[in-house]
Chains A and B, each alone.
Chain A
Amino acid sequence: MSANREDRVDFVVNAAGRRVPTIVNGQPARPYAGVGAPAPDGPKHGPPIRSAADYPENGDKRVPDLKTALERCGLRDGMTISTHHHLRNGDRIAVAALQAAAELGARDLRWLPSASFPCHEPVVDLMESGVVHHIEGSMNGPLGAYCSHGHMRGLGVLRSHGGRWQAIQDGEVHVDIAVIAAPTADPFGNADGSHGPSACGSLGFALADSIYADHVIVVTDNTVPFPCVPWQIQGNNVDFVVEVDSIGDPAKIVSGTTRITRSPDRLLIAEYVARFLRDAGIMRDGFSFQAGAGGIALAFVGYIRQMMIDAGVKARFVRGGSTSYLVDLLNEGLTDYILDGQTFDLAGVRSIGEDSRHLPTSPFTSYNYHGKGNFASMVDAVVLGATEVDVNFNANVVTHSDGMLLHGIGGWQNCLFSRCTILALPSFRDRIPVILDEVTTLTGPGERVDGIVTERGVAVNPRRTDLLEALEASDLPIRPIEEIKAEVELLVGGPPAKPRLEDEPVAVIKWVDGTVIDTVWKVPQPTESG
C-alpha cells in the first residue's frame, strides 16, 4: 500500500499555484482544482458484508484485551489502524492499540488518528522501530518535529475533520481496523461519550470509522448492561469490545474550566470581532455562529453575549467546540441549540449529557464536503484563528512560519464555508508578523476568508463588497490589509526571511474535497549557532 517517501514522485502546480506531488504514499492524488471543483464519479466505499451468524447471539462481543481483539480482526503488516482524539491529551488508547499491534509483530502500519496530541509521543519510537510506517492526521510537538525533519518513512497527510470523513467515505483511505475509545459502552458495542468516569462529550470523530472500517473495536472503562443510551456509536457496526481499567486521564480529557484570555490585545481583537458581527448586521434574531475554545474565541462569546442582550436578540443555534461559555448562552435563553462537534470542558460535558438542546454532531453532519450539503455552510458567522495570512486572505493553520508542522487542520477548512468567515489573530507573535505576502503553507484559499481581525484593525476581503457596505457606518478600524501589514513590519523590522526548506516533501495538505492544496517541505535540523 505505502511507498516510501524517498520514492521519486512527479509534482504539478495546482490551481492555487502550489507545487504538489501527484502520488502520495503510493496512491494517485488529485491536485487542488479550486473551490467547488466537481467530485469524482462513482459510489461510496463500502465495508464488507457481515452476518449476524458470526457474532454472539447474546450480543456479548467482549474479548479479554486489545491484543486478542487485534488478532481476531486479522491484523497484518501494512494495515491502517484508526483512532480518535475525543480524549485529547488524556488519551491512553491510541498508543496502547499500536503497542499491542507491535507485540503481535505487525510492521509498516498506517496510523490514521483524527488528531494527535503530545501524549502520543511514544509513536515516535514505534515509527523508529518500523511498527508504524507513517501518520495520516494532525501532527504537532515531537511527532510534528519527527515528520518535519524528514524522519517519517511515508508522507504525512493532513486532513480537515470533514476531509477525513470524505477520505474514508470515498475510499481514499481504507480503514482496516478502527479502535474507538468509549467513555461508556455495552457488551454489544453501543457506545457513548457523554457519561462515565472518562466522559468527553461527543464521539463524532469516530463515527465514519465505525461505519466504513473493515473491523471496529470499542475500548471502554465503563461497561454498562445493554442498552447503552444514548448510543453515539452503534454496536451493529462493532466487532469486539475490550474492557480496560482506564481509557484516559480525565484531567487531560476536558479542562475543569476554560479560561478567557487576559491579554488586553487579544481581548481587543475579540471585541472587534463581536462588533463586526453586530455592525455588519449578522447578529440578528435567529442568527447562528460558531466559535471554538481558543482564548480569543471565548472572549468573543462574552462580548457577543452582552451585545445580544443589549439588542434583545437570540441565536437559533451556536456551534462549538462547546465550553461553559456556550452552555451559559443556552441556559440564558440566548440560543435555542448548541450543535456540538467536540466538548472542551466539564460544563460542556455535563450539558451534552443532560440537556436535549445540546446535541452531539459528527463530521458527517457538520463538515463532509462529499455529502448532500453540511451544517458548516449554514452558519452565519464563524470565528477562527490562523498561524499566518497573506495579502490575498489566504491562510495557514498547519505550519509555523519557519515551516515546522505545528497544528492540525481540525474543522478549520470546513468552517470556511460559513456565510462570514472571520480570522481573529494578533498582528504579530513575538516578532513574527502574521500578515505576509504569501503564506508559508496554504491551508485555506483567500476567496473563503471574509474578514481578518487584528488588534491593529480589521481587514475585510475586497471581494465582500456587501460586508464593506454594511460596515460603512461602523466605527471599527477597518483598514486595507496591506496597511496593517506595513505597520507591523515597521515595528518588527521588516518581513521575515523566507525559511530555508529542503526540496523534499514530508507531508501534504488536503483540501475538503480530497485534493492536495499544498505540500509541507522538509525543515533542516537546527544547527548550533556560530
Chain B
Amino acid sequence: MSASGRGEAGRAGDDVRGDLHVAVELADAGGLDVQLTSRVKSLYGASIEQTARATLAGLEVEHARIRIDDKGAVPFVIAARVEAAALRAGAAPGGDGKPERTVPDREHSTRNRLRRSRLYLPGDQPKLQLNAGLHRPDGVILDLEDSVHANEKDAARLVVRNALRCVDFGNAERMVRINQLPRGLEDLDAIIPERPDLVLIPKTETANQVAEVDARIRETLGEPADGDPPIWIMPIVETALGVENAFQIAAASPAVVALTIGLEDYTADLGVQKTLEGDESLYARGRLVNAARAAGVQAIDSVFGDVGDEEGLREWAGRSRGLGFEGMGCIHPRQIRPIHEAFAPSATEIEKALRIVAAFEEAEARGLGVVSLGTRMVDPPVVLRAQRLVHVARQAGLIEEPGS
C-alpha cells in the first residue's frame, strides 16, 4: 500500500474517561511506530500497544506512525478508535480490525419477550455502555442515529460493532438503532454479522423501508435456519405520514415485533408543542397501539425527556400503559425502575387474572363451554386478557412459581 494519509479518531481532553484519542499517519516504510501516553500506562501500556498493533495488522497497515492519548479505555474501544483513525487516514477498507469476541453466546431474544424499558446508549460514548446491563433494562439500544454527531457516524459504527462483541449486557435485549435509510443500510453491513437481537429503524414512513431493511439483513445473514428466530425489527414512527401508514409498517415483515413512536420528531412534524400531558400526540399514539395490535406486534411508547422528574415519568408511564403500550424508552438508567413499576400489573390485577385463568382451566378440565367465577360468567375475551396479563406478570417475576 502506498499512502501518506493522516486520520484522527476518539476523544481528547482532561475530562475524558474510558476513551482515547488516536492519530494515525500512514507511511511507506518504517513499520509501526506507536507513541503512547496513558493514565494507566504503567499497568496497561503493553496491552494498549498490543491492541493497537493487532488492530492495524488486521487492517493490513504495515507502516504508520500512531499517537495514542489514552484515558483508561478498555481494549474494544482502543481497537475501534485505532481502526477509525486508520480508515480515516486512508487505510484500505475491507480489512478485519475486529477485536476477539469476549461475550458469551446467549440465546436470541424471543418475539414476545418483555420490552418494558429500552435504554438508549449513545453509540459513540463507550463508557456509558460498559455497565449498562447491570441496571437491568429489558433492552439496550446502541444508538447510531440522533445521539451521534454527523461527523462521527463511521467511528460510532465501529464502537457499536465492537461493543456487541465485547460487552456483556446481561439479560437485556441487544438492540441497535441504525441511521435513516439509505445510510442505515451501511450500518447494517457492519452490525448484522454481530447478531444483535433487534434493529430499530428511525423515521419509518412506509412498509417499503421495513422491507428494505429486512432484505438487507437476510442478505447478510442468509435465511435463518429452521426454528432460529430472525433479527427482530422495531420501526420507529416519527412523522404524520408514518402514523398514517402504521399498520402497513407493522405488518411489513414477520420480523417486526414491535412498533414505537418518536414524539420529538412527530410533534415537530405536526408543528405543535410537546407537552407533559401529551394530548397533542394522543391520536397518533392511539392509532399506533391499534395498528400494532392489528398486526399482532407490541406497541412501545416514546421516551420521557426529563430525567430529573421521576413523578412526571411515573404519570406518563401510567397513562401510557392505560393506552395499551407495553413499554417505553429510557434515556438514563434511573428511569428503568419507575418504568418497570408503572408497566407492571398491580397485585389486584394479577390476583384477579389468576382466578380467571384458574376458572378457565377448571372449566376446560371439566369439559364445560362456559367459564364462571362465583356467580358471574366470564367472557372469552376476558379470559384472553387475563392470560396475557398473567404471562406478562410471570415474565416480570411478579408471580411466585410453585416450587421455585
Query: Which A residues are within 8 Å of any B CB, using their own CB?
Result: 264-265, 267-268, 401-403, 429-432, 455-456, 487, 490-494, 496-497, 499-500, 526, 529-530
Contacts and interface: CB of A to CB of B under 8 A. Distances in A.
B252 to A, nearest CB: 36
Given A402-B42, A402-B43, A529-B36, A430 B17 contact: yes
Contact of B333 (A264, A432, A490, A491): A264
A430 B18 contact: yes
Contacts of A494: 47
Interface in B119-149: 130-131, 134-135
B72 interface: yes
Given A267-B334, A493-B47, A493-B75, A432 B40 contact: yes
B167 A491 contact: yes
B74 A491 contact: yes
Nearest to A454: B134
A455 B46 CA distance: 28
B41 interface: yes
Interface of B: 17-18, 35-37, 39-47, 51, 71-75, 102, 130-131, 134-135, 166-168, 332-334
A493 B41 CA distance: 14
A496 B332 CA distance: 31
Contact of A497 (B17, B46, B130, B167): B46
B74 to A, nearest CB: 5
A-B complex: 8 closest residue pairs judged by Cβ atoms: A430-B72, A496-B43, A264-B333, A493-B75, A431-B72, A402-B42, A499-B42, A529-B36
A268 B42 CA distance: 30
Contacts of B130: 491
Most chain B CB within 10 A, of A267, A401, A431, A494, is at A431
A526 B42 CA distance: 9
Given A491-B102, A496-B40, A496-B43, 14 more contacts: A265-B131, A267-B334, A268-B333, A432-B43, A432-B72, A455-B134, A456-B131, A456-B134, A491-B130, A493-B51, A493-B75, A497-B43, A529-B36, A529-B41
14 contacts: A265-B131, A402-B40, A402-B42, A402-B43, A430-B40, A430-B72, A431-B44, A490-B102, A490-B168, A491-B166, A491-B168, A493-B51, A496-B43, A529-B41
Most chain A CB within 10 A, of B44, B167, B168, is at B44
Contacts of A403: 42
A401 B166 CA distance: 24
Given A430-B72, A490-B102, A491-B167, A496 B35 contact: no
Given A265-B131, A430-B18, A497 B42 contact: yes
A429 B39 CA distance: 11
Nearest to B397: A475
Contact of B135 (A268, A401, A429): A268
B88 to A, nearest CB: 23
Given A264-B333, A455-B131, A497 B44 contact: yes
A491 B37 CA distance: 21
A267 B40 CA distance: 25
A430 B71 contact: yes
A491 B74 CA distance: 7
Nearest to B43: A496
A530 B68 CA distance: 11
A491 B103 CA distance: 9
Contacts of A265: 131, 134
A104 B286 CA distance: 84
A203 B156 CA distance: 53
Nearest to A489: B102
Contacts of B131: 264-265, 455-456
A492 B42 CA distance: 15
Nearest to B18: A430
Contacts of B46: 497
